[in-house]
Structure 1
Amino acid sequence: MKALVCILLLLESFVFVVQQQVDGGLNENEISQQISSEDGRQNPPQTHTLRAEASTDRQYCDLGIPDIHAALRELTATVTEQKGNIRELTATVTEQKEINRELTATVTELRDEMNKKDEEISNLTLGQVELRKENRDREIAFSAALMESGSGYFGPFTTEITLTYRNVFTNIGNAYNPITGVFTAPLKGAYMFRINVTGRRGIHSSASIFKNGKKVVSGHDEQAQDWLNSSNGVVLILEVGDVVYVRLWSGRRLYDSVSNYNTFSGFLLFPLREQEICRM
Protein backbone atom coordinates (compact mmCIF):
# COMPACT_ATOMS: atom_id res chain seq x y z
CA MET A 1 0.00 0.00 0.00
CA LYS A 2 2.86 2.34 0.82
CA ALA A 3 4.54 1.63 -2.50
CA LEU A 4 1.30 2.40 -4.34
CA VAL A 5 1.02 5.86 -2.71
CA CYS A 6 4.59 6.71 -3.67
CA ILE A 7 4.05 5.62 -7.26
CA LEU A 8 0.89 7.75 -7.53
CA LEU A 9 2.75 10.86 -6.25
CA LEU A 10 5.58 10.37 -8.77
CA LEU A 11 3.11 9.95 -11.61
CA GLU A 12 1.20 13.11 -10.58
CA SER A 13 4.41 15.23 -10.59
CA PHE A 14 5.50 13.85 -13.93
CA VAL A 15 2.15 14.54 -15.57
CA PHE A 16 2.15 18.12 -14.24
CA VAL A 17 5.61 18.89 -15.63
CA VAL A 18 4.84 17.42 -19.00
CA GLN A 19 1.58 19.37 -19.24
CA GLN A 20 3.29 22.67 -18.51
CA GLN A 21 5.97 22.02 -21.06
CA VAL A 22 3.38 21.28 -23.70
CA ASP A 23 1.33 24.36 -22.86
CA GLY A 24 4.00 27.04 -22.70
CA GLY A 25 7.40 25.57 -23.07
CA LEU A 26 8.34 26.73 -19.60
CA ASN A 27 11.65 25.88 -18.08
CA GLU A 28 12.10 24.52 -14.64
CA ASN A 29 12.53 27.94 -12.94
CA GLU A 30 9.48 29.31 -14.62
CA ILE A 31 7.52 26.24 -13.69
CA SER A 32 8.64 26.61 -10.09
CA GLN A 33 7.79 30.32 -10.07
CA GLN A 34 4.43 29.74 -11.66
CA ILE A 35 3.66 26.97 -9.19
CA SER A 36 4.69 29.30 -6.38
CA SER A 37 2.66 32.27 -7.70
CA GLU A 38 -0.32 30.14 -8.41
CA ASP A 39 -0.12 28.64 -4.98
CA GLY A 40 0.26 32.11 -3.43
CA ARG A 41 -2.65 33.63 -5.25
CA GLN A 42 -5.08 30.86 -4.78
CA ASN A 43 -4.43 29.36 -1.37
CA PRO A 44 -1.08 29.98 0.25
CA PRO A 45 -1.86 28.03 3.43
CA GLN A 46 -2.97 25.05 1.41
CA THR A 47 0.25 25.14 -0.67
CA HIS A 48 2.34 24.91 2.44
CA THR A 49 0.11 22.17 3.66
CA LEU A 50 0.43 20.26 0.37
CA ARG A 51 4.19 20.68 0.43
CA ALA A 52 4.31 19.44 3.95
CA GLU A 53 2.12 16.53 3.05
CA ALA A 54 4.24 15.79 -0.03
CA SER A 55 7.37 15.93 2.08
CA THR A 56 5.73 13.63 4.57
CA ASP A 57 4.64 11.26 1.78
CA ARG A 58 8.17 11.21 0.37
CA GLN A 59 9.54 10.37 3.79
CA TYR A 60 6.77 7.81 4.14
CA CYS A 61 7.68 6.30 0.77
CA ASP A 62 11.38 6.33 1.63
CA LEU A 63 10.64 4.54 4.86
CA GLY A 64 7.93 2.22 3.46
CA ILE A 65 9.71 0.69 0.47
CA PRO A 66 12.47 -1.01 2.48
CA ASP A 67 9.79 -2.35 4.82
CA ILE A 68 7.96 -3.86 1.84
CA HIS A 69 11.15 -5.53 0.64
CA ALA A 70 11.81 -6.88 4.08
CA ALA A 71 8.24 -8.10 4.33
CA LEU A 72 8.52 -9.74 0.92
CA ARG A 73 11.77 -11.40 1.90
CA GLU A 74 10.21 -12.58 5.13
CA LEU A 75 7.13 -13.78 3.28
CA THR A 76 9.30 -15.59 0.72
CA ALA A 77 11.24 -17.25 3.50
CA THR A 78 7.98 -18.24 5.18
CA VAL A 79 6.60 -19.66 1.95
CA THR A 80 9.84 -21.57 1.36
CA GLU A 81 9.70 -22.92 4.89
CA GLN A 82 6.07 -23.93 4.44
CA LYS A 83 6.92 -25.66 1.18
CA GLY A 84 9.58 -27.62 3.05
CA ASN A 85 7.07 -28.48 5.74
CA ILE A 86 4.59 -29.57 3.09
CA ARG A 87 7.23 -31.78 1.46
CA GLU A 88 8.02 -33.33 4.85
CA LEU A 89 4.33 -33.85 5.57
CA THR A 90 3.85 -35.39 2.12
CA ALA A 91 6.76 -37.73 2.75
CA THR A 92 5.32 -38.59 6.19
CA VAL A 93 1.87 -39.25 4.73
CA THR A 94 3.41 -41.42 2.01
CA GLU A 95 5.38 -43.33 4.64
CA GLN A 96 2.25 -43.79 6.76
CA LYS A 97 0.34 -45.04 3.72
CA GLU A 98 3.08 -47.59 3.09
CA ILE A 99 2.98 -48.64 6.75
CA ASN A 100 -0.80 -48.93 6.55
CA ARG A 101 -0.49 -51.09 3.43
CA GLU A 102 2.03 -53.32 5.20
CA LEU A 103 -0.22 -53.53 8.28
CA THR A 104 -3.22 -54.34 6.09
CA ALA A 105 -1.25 -57.07 4.34
CA THR A 106 -0.08 -58.42 7.72
CA VAL A 107 -3.63 -58.40 9.12
CA THR A 108 -4.90 -60.15 5.99
CA GLU A 109 -2.15 -62.75 6.26
CA LEU A 110 -2.89 -63.32 9.95
CA ARG A 111 -6.63 -63.59 9.22
CA ASP A 112 -5.95 -66.15 6.49
CA GLU A 113 -3.65 -68.06 8.83
CA MET A 114 -6.29 -68.02 11.59
CA ASN A 115 -8.94 -69.22 9.15
CA LYS A 116 -6.60 -72.00 8.05
CA LYS A 117 -5.94 -72.95 11.69
CA ASP A 118 -9.67 -72.89 12.44
CA GLU A 119 -10.26 -75.16 9.46
CA GLU A 120 -7.49 -77.50 10.59
CA ILE A 121 -8.91 -77.57 14.12
CA SER A 122 -12.37 -78.21 12.72
CA ASN A 123 -11.06 -81.01 10.52
CA LEU A 124 -9.07 -82.39 13.45
CA THR A 125 -12.16 -82.30 15.64
CA LEU A 126 -14.18 -84.09 12.98
CA GLY A 127 -11.36 -86.57 12.58
CA GLN A 128 -11.28 -87.18 16.32
CA VAL A 129 -15.03 -87.70 16.37
CA GLU A 130 -14.77 -90.17 13.49
CA LEU A 131 -11.81 -91.86 15.17
CA ARG A 132 -13.72 -92.18 18.43
CA LYS A 133 -16.67 -93.61 16.56
CA GLU A 134 -14.39 -95.98 14.68
CA ASN A 135 -12.69 -96.99 17.92
CA ARG A 136 -16.05 -97.59 19.53
CA ASP A 137 -16.94 -99.82 16.60
CA ARG A 138 -13.67 -101.67 17.18
CA GLU A 139 -14.26 -102.17 20.92
CA ILE A 140 -15.19 -105.85 20.93
CA ALA A 141 -14.69 -108.07 23.95
CA PHE A 142 -16.65 -110.59 25.97
CA SER A 143 -16.22 -112.95 28.90
CA ALA A 144 -18.74 -115.42 30.36
CA ALA A 145 -19.06 -118.42 32.69
CA LEU A 146 -21.34 -121.49 32.44
CA MET A 147 -23.64 -121.04 35.43
CA GLU A 148 -25.59 -117.93 36.40
CA SER A 149 -26.18 -119.27 39.94
CA GLY A 150 -25.74 -122.36 42.07
CA SER A 151 -23.39 -125.24 41.24
CA GLY A 152 -23.58 -128.55 39.33
CA TYR A 153 -22.43 -130.79 36.49
CA PHE A 154 -22.75 -130.51 32.69
CA GLY A 155 -22.79 -133.90 30.97
CA PRO A 156 -21.97 -136.42 30.06
CA PHE A 157 -23.90 -136.47 26.77
CA THR A 158 -23.97 -139.01 23.97
CA THR A 159 -23.07 -136.39 21.36
CA GLU A 160 -21.10 -133.13 21.27
CA ILE A 161 -23.10 -130.12 22.43
CA THR A 162 -22.47 -126.38 22.13
CA LEU A 163 -21.96 -124.87 25.59
CA THR A 164 -23.97 -121.77 26.44
CA TYR A 165 -22.03 -119.58 28.84
CA ARG A 166 -24.93 -117.68 30.43
CA ASN A 167 -23.19 -115.78 33.21
CA VAL A 168 -21.92 -112.86 31.12
CA PHE A 169 -19.30 -110.63 32.72
CA THR A 170 -18.51 -108.49 29.70
CA ASN A 171 -20.04 -108.18 26.24
CA ILE A 172 -18.68 -105.02 24.63
CA GLY A 173 -20.05 -104.78 21.12
CA ASN A 174 -22.68 -107.45 21.81
CA ALA A 175 -20.94 -109.90 19.52
CA TYR A 176 -21.45 -112.80 21.92
CA ASN A 177 -24.93 -114.38 22.24
CA PRO A 178 -25.45 -115.95 25.72
CA ILE A 179 -28.54 -117.83 24.52
CA THR A 180 -26.77 -119.74 21.74
CA GLY A 181 -23.21 -119.53 23.13
CA VAL A 182 -21.97 -118.27 19.73
CA PHE A 183 -19.65 -115.32 19.05
CA THR A 184 -20.18 -113.65 15.65
CA ALA A 185 -17.38 -111.44 14.27
CA PRO A 186 -18.67 -107.91 13.49
CA LEU A 187 -15.34 -106.83 11.93
CA LYS A 188 -12.57 -108.37 9.95
CA GLY A 189 -9.60 -108.75 12.22
CA ALA A 190 -7.43 -110.75 14.57
CA TYR A 191 -9.28 -112.08 17.64
CA MET A 192 -8.03 -113.80 20.76
CA PHE A 193 -10.16 -116.61 22.33
CA ARG A 194 -9.62 -118.62 25.45
CA ILE A 195 -11.42 -121.41 27.37
CA ASN A 196 -11.02 -122.85 30.83
CA VAL A 197 -12.26 -126.43 31.48
CA THR A 198 -12.84 -127.87 34.98
CA GLY A 199 -14.22 -131.23 36.22
CA ARG A 200 -14.44 -133.39 39.33
CA ARG A 201 -14.37 -137.02 40.54
CA GLY A 202 -12.58 -138.91 37.84
CA ILE A 203 -14.72 -138.22 34.75
CA HIS A 204 -12.74 -136.74 31.85
CA SER A 205 -13.26 -133.03 31.15
CA SER A 206 -12.81 -132.02 27.52
CA ALA A 207 -14.06 -129.09 25.40
CA SER A 208 -12.92 -127.48 22.14
CA ILE A 209 -13.08 -124.07 20.40
CA PHE A 210 -14.73 -124.25 16.99
CA LYS A 211 -14.59 -121.79 14.09
CA ASN A 212 -17.32 -122.10 11.47
CA GLY A 213 -17.91 -125.79 12.38
CA LYS A 214 -14.23 -126.74 12.51
CA LYS A 215 -12.39 -127.67 15.69
CA VAL A 216 -9.46 -125.39 16.38
CA VAL A 217 -8.02 -126.03 19.88
CA SER A 218 -9.12 -128.09 22.91
CA GLY A 219 -8.84 -128.16 26.66
CA HIS A 220 -8.64 -131.71 28.07
CA ASP A 221 -7.86 -133.35 31.39
CA GLU A 222 -8.39 -136.79 32.83
CA GLN A 223 -7.66 -137.94 36.33
CA ALA A 224 -8.83 -140.80 38.51
CA GLN A 225 -10.03 -138.55 41.32
CA ASP A 226 -10.28 -135.04 42.70
CA TRP A 227 -10.28 -131.94 40.45
CA LEU A 228 -9.61 -131.79 36.73
CA ASN A 229 -8.56 -128.55 35.09
CA SER A 230 -7.17 -127.43 31.75
CA SER A 231 -7.19 -124.36 29.51
CA ASN A 232 -6.26 -123.32 26.02
CA GLY A 233 -6.35 -120.27 23.78
CA VAL A 234 -5.95 -119.22 20.17
CA VAL A 235 -5.72 -116.14 17.91
CA LEU A 236 -8.01 -116.40 14.91
CA ILE A 237 -8.30 -114.29 11.78
CA LEU A 238 -12.01 -113.74 11.29
CA GLU A 239 -14.04 -112.09 8.59
CA VAL A 240 -17.37 -110.43 9.19
CA GLY A 241 -19.94 -113.11 10.02
CA ASP A 242 -17.50 -115.82 11.08
CA VAL A 243 -18.67 -117.67 14.22
CA VAL A 244 -16.71 -119.06 17.15
CA TYR A 245 -18.11 -121.26 19.96
CA VAL A 246 -17.21 -124.04 22.41
CA ARG A 247 -18.39 -127.68 22.25
CA LEU A 248 -18.29 -130.30 25.01
CA TRP A 249 -16.99 -133.66 23.87
CA SER A 250 -19.28 -136.68 23.86
CA GLY A 251 -19.11 -138.63 27.16
CA ARG A 252 -17.30 -135.79 28.98
CA ARG A 253 -18.46 -133.82 32.03
CA LEU A 254 -17.81 -130.37 33.48
CA TYR A 255 -18.37 -129.00 36.96
CA ASP A 256 -19.15 -125.38 37.71
CA SER A 257 -20.28 -123.27 40.66
CA VAL A 258 -20.43 -119.68 41.83
CA SER A 259 -16.63 -119.78 41.59
CA ASN A 260 -16.99 -119.82 37.77
CA TYR A 261 -14.46 -122.53 36.91
CA ASN A 262 -15.51 -122.90 33.27
CA THR A 263 -15.19 -119.74 31.17
CA PHE A 264 -15.18 -118.64 27.56
CA SER A 265 -13.72 -115.26 26.57
CA GLY A 266 -12.54 -113.38 23.53
CA PHE A 267 -11.69 -109.92 22.19
CA LEU A 268 -10.59 -108.10 19.06
CA LEU A 269 -6.84 -107.60 18.98
CA PHE A 270 -6.93 -105.29 15.95
CA PRO A 271 -8.95 -104.93 12.75
CA LEU A 272 -7.48 -105.88 9.40
CA ARG A 273 -7.90 -104.50 5.92
CA GLU A 274 -8.86 -106.81 3.08
CA GLN A 275 -5.38 -106.98 1.59
CA GLU A 276 -3.81 -107.77 4.96
CA ILE A 277 -6.21 -110.64 5.49
CA CYS A 278 -5.52 -111.99 1.99
CA ARG A 279 -1.75 -111.81 2.59
CA MET A 280 -2.16 -113.87 5.73
Structure 2
Amino acid sequence: MKALVCILLLLETFVFVVQQQVDGGLNEKEISQQISSEDGRQNPPQTDTLRAEASTDRQQYCDLGIPDIHAALRELTATVTEHKENIRELRDEMNKKNEEISNLTLSQVEELRKENRDREIAFSAALMESGDGNIGPFTTETTLTYRNVFTNIGNAYNPITGIFTAPLKGAYMFRYSVFGLGGTPSSATIVKNGKHLVVAYDVQDQDRLNSSNGVVLILEVGDVVYVRLGSNTRIHDNGNNHNTFSGYLLFPLI
Protein backbone atom coordinates (compact mmCIF):
# COMPACT_ATOMS: atom_id res chain seq x y z
CA MET A 1 0.00 0.00 0.00
CA LYS A 2 2.82 2.39 0.88
CA ALA A 3 4.57 1.64 -2.39
CA LEU A 4 1.32 2.48 -4.23
CA VAL A 5 0.98 5.86 -2.46
CA CYS A 6 4.55 6.73 -3.43
CA ILE A 7 3.92 5.87 -7.06
CA LEU A 8 0.68 7.91 -7.16
CA LEU A 9 2.43 10.99 -5.76
CA LEU A 10 5.17 10.77 -8.37
CA LEU A 11 2.61 10.33 -11.15
CA GLU A 12 0.66 13.35 -9.96
CA THR A 13 3.71 15.61 -10.21
CA PHE A 14 4.64 14.22 -13.63
CA VAL A 15 1.12 14.71 -15.02
CA PHE A 16 1.03 18.31 -13.80
CA VAL A 17 4.27 19.20 -15.54
CA VAL A 18 3.28 17.52 -18.80
CA GLN A 19 -0.16 19.20 -18.78
CA GLN A 20 1.32 22.63 -18.33
CA GLN A 21 3.77 22.10 -21.16
CA VAL A 22 1.01 20.92 -23.50
CA ASP A 23 -1.46 23.69 -22.58
CA GLY A 24 0.78 26.72 -22.45
CA GLY A 25 4.16 25.69 -23.72
CA LEU A 26 5.74 26.84 -20.45
CA ASN A 27 9.40 26.36 -19.98
CA GLU A 28 10.99 25.07 -16.82
CA LYS A 29 11.53 28.55 -15.36
CA GLU A 30 7.97 29.61 -16.03
CA ILE A 31 6.68 26.41 -14.52
CA SER A 32 8.69 27.04 -11.37
CA GLN A 33 7.46 30.62 -11.18
CA GLN A 34 3.86 29.57 -11.69
CA ILE A 35 4.13 26.93 -9.01
CA SER A 36 5.62 29.49 -6.62
CA SER A 37 2.91 32.01 -7.50
CA GLU A 38 0.17 29.49 -6.97
CA ASP A 39 1.66 28.51 -3.65
CA GLY A 40 1.79 32.11 -2.61
CA ARG A 41 -1.83 32.78 -3.48
CA GLN A 42 -3.40 29.61 -2.20
CA ASN A 43 -1.33 28.83 0.88
CA PRO A 44 -0.54 30.88 3.92
CA PRO A 45 3.12 31.25 4.98
CA GLN A 46 3.00 28.12 7.09
CA THR A 47 2.34 26.12 3.92
CA ASP A 48 6.07 25.81 3.28
CA THR A 49 6.48 23.98 6.54
CA LEU A 50 3.58 21.68 5.74
CA ARG A 51 4.93 21.08 2.25
CA ALA A 52 8.32 20.10 3.71
CA GLU A 53 6.64 17.71 6.11
CA ALA A 54 4.56 16.21 3.31
CA SER A 55 7.71 15.73 1.24
CA THR A 56 9.39 13.98 4.15
CA ASP A 57 6.34 11.73 4.67
CA ARG A 58 6.28 10.98 0.96
CA GLN A 59 9.91 9.89 1.05
CA GLN A 60 9.27 7.75 4.11
CA TYR A 61 6.32 6.06 2.37
CA CYS A 62 8.47 5.32 -0.62
CA ASP A 63 11.34 4.02 1.45
CA LEU A 64 9.08 1.77 3.49
CA GLY A 65 7.19 0.55 0.45
CA ILE A 66 10.21 -0.64 -1.51
CA PRO A 67 10.93 -4.34 -0.71
CA ASP A 68 14.37 -5.31 0.55
CA ILE A 69 15.66 -6.78 -2.70
CA HIS A 70 19.14 -7.38 -1.30
CA ALA A 71 17.76 -9.40 1.60
CA ALA A 72 15.72 -11.55 -0.81
CA LEU A 73 18.78 -12.13 -2.98
CA ARG A 74 20.83 -13.11 0.04
CA GLU A 75 18.16 -15.61 1.11
CA LEU A 76 17.98 -17.08 -2.40
CA THR A 77 21.78 -17.37 -2.56
CA ALA A 78 21.82 -19.21 0.77
CA THR A 79 19.17 -21.65 -0.48
CA VAL A 80 21.07 -22.38 -3.69
CA THR A 81 24.29 -22.89 -1.73
CA GLU A 82 22.52 -25.37 0.57
CA HIS A 83 21.20 -27.36 -2.40
CA LYS A 84 24.64 -27.42 -3.98
CA GLU A 85 26.09 -28.80 -0.76
CA ASN A 86 23.45 -31.56 -0.65
CA ILE A 87 24.17 -32.49 -4.27
CA ARG A 88 27.90 -32.58 -3.53
CA GLU A 89 27.32 -34.92 -0.57
CA LEU A 90 25.19 -37.27 -2.70
CA ARG A 91 27.82 -37.28 -5.44
CA ASP A 92 30.54 -38.10 -2.93
CA GLU A 93 28.46 -40.97 -1.50
CA MET A 94 27.84 -42.42 -4.98
CA ASN A 95 31.53 -42.19 -5.82
CA LYS A 96 32.33 -44.00 -2.58
CA LYS A 97 29.89 -46.83 -3.39
CA ASN A 98 31.29 -47.17 -6.90
CA GLU A 99 34.79 -47.32 -5.49
CA GLU A 100 33.77 -50.07 -3.04
CA ILE A 101 32.29 -52.12 -5.88
CA SER A 102 35.34 -51.62 -8.09
CA ASN A 103 37.60 -52.69 -5.22
CA LEU A 104 36.12 -56.19 -5.11
CA THR A 105 38.97 -58.59 -5.58
CA LEU A 106 38.95 -61.31 -8.20
CA SER A 107 38.72 -63.90 -5.46
CA GLN A 108 35.56 -62.31 -4.09
CA VAL A 109 33.97 -62.24 -7.54
CA GLU A 110 34.94 -65.86 -8.10
CA GLU A 111 33.46 -66.78 -4.73
CA LEU A 112 30.15 -65.16 -5.69
CA ARG A 113 30.16 -67.02 -9.00
CA LYS A 114 30.89 -70.32 -7.23
CA GLU A 115 28.02 -69.73 -4.81
CA ASN A 116 25.64 -69.22 -7.74
CA ARG A 117 26.97 -72.31 -9.51
CA ASP A 118 26.38 -74.39 -6.39
CA ARG A 119 22.69 -73.50 -6.62
CA GLU A 120 22.40 -74.64 -10.25
CA ILE A 121 21.26 -78.26 -9.88
CA ALA A 122 19.28 -80.18 -12.53
CA PHE A 123 19.46 -83.53 -14.28
CA SER A 124 17.50 -85.63 -16.74
CA ALA A 125 18.32 -89.12 -18.07
CA ALA A 126 16.82 -92.10 -19.89
CA LEU A 127 17.43 -95.79 -19.29
CA MET A 128 19.27 -97.04 -22.38
CA GLU A 129 22.13 -95.34 -24.20
CA SER A 130 21.37 -97.36 -27.37
CA GLY A 131 19.38 -100.34 -28.64
CA ASP A 132 16.11 -101.62 -27.22
CA GLY A 133 14.98 -104.35 -24.83
CA ASN A 134 13.28 -105.31 -21.60
CA ILE A 135 14.50 -104.77 -18.07
CA GLY A 136 13.09 -107.31 -15.61
CA PRO A 137 11.26 -109.01 -14.23
CA PHE A 138 13.38 -109.65 -11.12
CA THR A 139 12.34 -111.45 -7.95
CA THR A 140 13.38 -108.46 -5.81
CA GLU A 141 13.30 -104.70 -6.20
CA THR A 142 16.15 -103.38 -8.34
CA THR A 143 17.58 -99.86 -8.55
CA LEU A 144 17.32 -98.55 -12.10
CA THR A 145 20.37 -96.91 -13.64
CA TYR A 146 19.45 -94.22 -16.17
CA ARG A 147 22.62 -94.12 -18.27
CA ASN A 148 21.55 -91.92 -21.18
CA VAL A 149 22.16 -88.56 -19.53
CA PHE A 150 20.65 -85.49 -21.20
CA THR A 151 21.48 -82.96 -18.49
CA ASN A 152 23.49 -83.13 -15.28
CA ILE A 153 24.10 -79.58 -14.06
CA GLY A 154 25.93 -79.73 -10.76
CA ASN A 155 26.83 -83.42 -11.24
CA ALA A 156 24.53 -84.46 -8.40
CA TYR A 157 23.22 -87.47 -10.37
CA ASN A 158 25.42 -90.55 -10.81
CA PRO A 159 24.59 -92.49 -14.04
CA ILE A 160 26.61 -95.50 -12.82
CA THR A 161 24.56 -96.05 -9.67
CA GLY A 162 21.35 -94.26 -10.71
CA ILE A 163 21.41 -92.27 -7.46
CA PHE A 164 20.90 -88.53 -6.98
CA THR A 165 22.72 -87.04 -3.96
CA ALA A 166 21.63 -83.63 -2.68
CA PRO A 167 24.61 -81.22 -2.59
CA LEU A 168 22.77 -78.66 -0.44
CA LYS A 169 19.61 -78.33 1.59
CA GLY A 170 16.60 -77.32 -0.43
CA ALA A 171 13.30 -78.14 -2.09
CA TYR A 172 13.68 -80.47 -5.09
CA MET A 173 11.28 -81.59 -7.79
CA PHE A 174 11.50 -85.17 -9.19
CA ARG A 175 9.57 -86.81 -12.03
CA TYR A 176 9.83 -90.20 -13.76
CA SER A 177 8.00 -92.20 -16.40
CA VAL A 178 7.36 -95.94 -16.83
CA PHE A 179 6.79 -97.76 -20.13
CA GLY A 180 6.29 -101.47 -20.79
CA LEU A 181 4.73 -104.06 -23.06
CA GLY A 182 1.52 -105.92 -22.23
CA GLY A 183 1.42 -109.21 -20.41
CA THR A 184 3.61 -108.26 -17.44
CA PRO A 185 2.92 -105.33 -15.07
CA SER A 186 5.23 -102.27 -15.15
CA SER A 187 5.98 -100.63 -11.82
CA ALA A 188 8.64 -98.29 -10.39
CA THR A 189 8.96 -96.34 -7.14
CA ILE A 190 10.80 -93.17 -6.12
CA VAL A 191 12.85 -93.89 -2.99
CA LYS A 192 14.41 -91.38 -0.56
CA ASN A 193 17.07 -92.71 1.81
CA GLY A 194 15.59 -96.22 1.48
CA LYS A 195 11.96 -95.11 2.04
CA HIS A 196 9.33 -95.68 -0.69
CA LEU A 197 7.49 -92.46 -1.55
CA VAL A 198 5.44 -92.60 -4.79
CA VAL A 199 4.70 -95.36 -7.31
CA ALA A 200 4.01 -95.40 -11.05
CA TYR A 201 2.19 -98.60 -12.07
CA ASP A 202 0.29 -100.05 -15.02
CA VAL A 203 -0.85 -103.52 -16.14
CA GLN A 204 -2.56 -104.80 -19.29
CA ASP A 205 -2.77 -108.19 -20.99
CA GLN A 206 -1.86 -106.71 -24.37
CA ASP A 207 -0.52 -103.52 -25.96
CA ARG A 208 1.71 -100.96 -24.27
CA LEU A 209 1.81 -99.73 -20.68
CA ASN A 210 2.39 -96.11 -19.65
CA SER A 211 2.53 -94.45 -16.27
CA SER A 212 4.30 -91.56 -14.55
CA ASN A 213 4.55 -89.79 -11.21
CA GLY A 214 6.41 -87.00 -9.44
CA VAL A 215 7.08 -85.48 -6.04
CA VAL A 216 8.61 -82.39 -4.36
CA LEU A 217 11.02 -83.29 -1.54
CA ILE A 218 12.83 -81.34 1.15
CA LEU A 219 16.35 -82.75 1.15
CA GLU A 220 19.24 -82.24 3.52
CA VAL A 221 22.83 -82.30 2.30
CA GLY A 222 23.74 -85.92 1.48
CA ASP A 223 20.16 -87.24 1.15
CA VAL A 224 19.78 -89.70 -1.75
CA VAL A 225 16.91 -90.22 -4.19
CA TYR A 226 16.59 -92.98 -6.80
CA VAL A 227 14.06 -95.16 -8.68
CA ARG A 228 13.51 -98.89 -8.02
CA LEU A 229 11.85 -101.37 -10.37
CA GLY A 230 9.13 -103.32 -8.58
CA SER A 231 9.66 -107.05 -8.03
CA ASN A 232 8.17 -109.30 -10.71
CA THR A 233 7.54 -106.33 -13.02
CA ARG A 234 9.06 -105.36 -16.34
CA ILE A 235 9.74 -102.22 -18.36
CA HIS A 236 10.76 -101.79 -21.98
CA ASP A 237 12.88 -99.09 -23.60
CA ASN A 238 14.31 -98.20 -27.00
CA GLY A 239 15.62 -95.20 -28.94
CA ASN A 240 12.44 -93.29 -28.10
CA ASN A 241 13.54 -93.07 -24.44
CA HIS A 242 10.20 -93.90 -22.87
CA ASN A 243 11.59 -94.39 -19.34
CA THR A 244 13.11 -91.25 -17.85
CA PHE A 245 14.15 -89.86 -14.47
CA SER A 246 14.54 -86.10 -13.89
CA GLY A 247 15.04 -83.71 -11.00
CA TYR A 248 16.06 -80.17 -10.18
CA LEU A 249 16.47 -77.74 -7.30
CA LEU A 250 13.45 -75.47 -6.84
CA PHE A 251 15.14 -73.26 -4.24
CA PRO A 252 17.71 -73.65 -1.45
CA LEU A 253 16.74 -73.62 2.22
CA ILE A 254 18.66 -72.40 5.24
- Please report the TM-score for the alignment, with normalisation by the length of structure 2: 0.61
The aligned residue for residue 254 of structure 1 is 235
Partner residue in 1 for 2:249: 268
Alignment partners' CA distance in 2, 1:117 and 1:153: 63
Report the alpha carbon displacement of residue 130 of structure 1 after superposing the two structures with TM. 4.8
Distance 1:123 1:227 in 2: 63
Measured after TM superposition, the shift of residue 132 of structure 1 is 3.6
166, 190, 195: which one pairs with 1:214? 195
Aligned length: 170
Give 1:165's aligned residue.
Answer: 146
1:245 paired residue number: 226
Q: How does 1:42-191 map to 2 (within 5 A)?
A: 112-113=92-93, 115-122=95-102, 130-191=111-172
- Counterpart Cα distance in 2 of 1:256 and 1:205: 12
**TM-score (norm: length of structure 1):** 0.56
1:227 corresponds to which residue? 208
SS where residue 98 of structure 2 aligns?
A: helix
Q: Secondary structure at the match of 1:121?
A: helix
Alpha-carbon separation, structure 2, partners of 1:123 and 1:204: 64
Per-residue CA distance 1:157-176 (angstroms, 9 max, x = gap): 01100000000000000000
Q: Which amino acid aligns with 1:185?
A: A
What is the one-letter code of the residue matched to 1:267?
Y
1:204 corresponding residue in structure 2: 185
> Which amino acid in the other structure matches residue 174 of structure 2?
F
Q: 2:231, 2:242 → 1: CA distance?
A: 20
Determine the C-alpha separation between the residues in 1 that align with 2:97 and 2:242: 56
Q: Which 10-residue stretch deviates more, 228-237 or 124-133?
A: 124-133
Distance 1:111 1:150, change over 3 A: same
CA distance in 1 between counterparts of 2:101 and 2:134 reads 59
Deviation by residue 1:204-255 (Cα, 9 ceiling, x = unmatched): 0000000000000010001111000000000000000000000001000000
In 2: Cα distance, 1:154 partner to 1:242 partner: 27
| C-alpha contact (below 8 Å) 2:182/2:203 kept by paired residues | no
SS of 1:142's equivalent in the other structure is strand
Distance of aligned partners of 1:201 and 1:132 in 2 relative to their CA distance in 1, 3 Å threshold: same
CA separation in 1, counterparts of 2:90 and 2:221? 49
**SS of alignment partner, residue 192 of structure 1:** strand
The higher relative CO (CA closer than 8 Å, separation ≥ 6) is in: 2
Instruction: Pick the structure with more helix per residue.
Output: 1
What is the rounded CA distance, in whole Å, between the counterparts of 2:103 and 2:148 in structure 1?
43
Q: CA deviation at 1:269?
A: 0.3
Structure whose alpha-carbon radius of gyration is higher: 1
Q: 2:30 is matched with which residue? A: none
Residue identity matched to 2:96: K
Secondary structure of 1:156 counterpart: coil
Q: CA deviation at 1:131?
A: 4.4
- RMSD of aligned Cα (Å): 2.7
CA distance in 1, matches of 2:94, 2:143: 61
